Amino acid sequence: MSQVRMYCTDSCPFCAKAERLLERKGVTPEKIRIDTDPERFEEMVALAGRDTVPQVFVGERHLGGFDDLVDLDLDGELDLLLKGA
């Protein structure tokens, strides 16, 4: 099973929404806090090519941010991606 990771901050409302969406799908993501570990911010930008949170990964696959997760969910793809997780 692949790991689900989410780069996030404690004060980000979209991070909280992404976490709730994933938990409704039965997945508890590993939260990587870029607000408490600035080196992880650079890691996130290098991996995702984005500098906003949340950024969600299933294994090595970048799913994107909250809006991307919602789009994947509406298309029925999120469940398929998470089943492989």
**Where does the pLDDT of residue 84 fall: very low under 50, low under 70, confident under 90, or very high at 90 and above?**
confident
State mean pLDDT over 22-28: 96
Listed by start position, the domains of the chain span 4-83
CA–CA distance, 6 with 19 (Å, rounded to integer):
8
Helix or strand run (H / E) with residue 11: none
Question: For 1-85, where are the E strands, in sequence order?
Answer: 4-8, 30-33, 55-58, 61-64
Identify the sign of the CA torsion 68, 69, 75, 77.
Answer: positive
- Say if CB 62 and CB 55 are below 8 A apart: yes
Is pLDDT of 1 > 80? no
Q: Let me know if 34 is exposed, middle or buried by CB neighbors in 10 A (0-12, 13-18, 19+).
A: buried
pLDDT at 2 over 70: no
User: What would be the CATH architecture of the domain defined by 4-83?
Assistant: 3-Layer(aba) Sandwich (3.40)
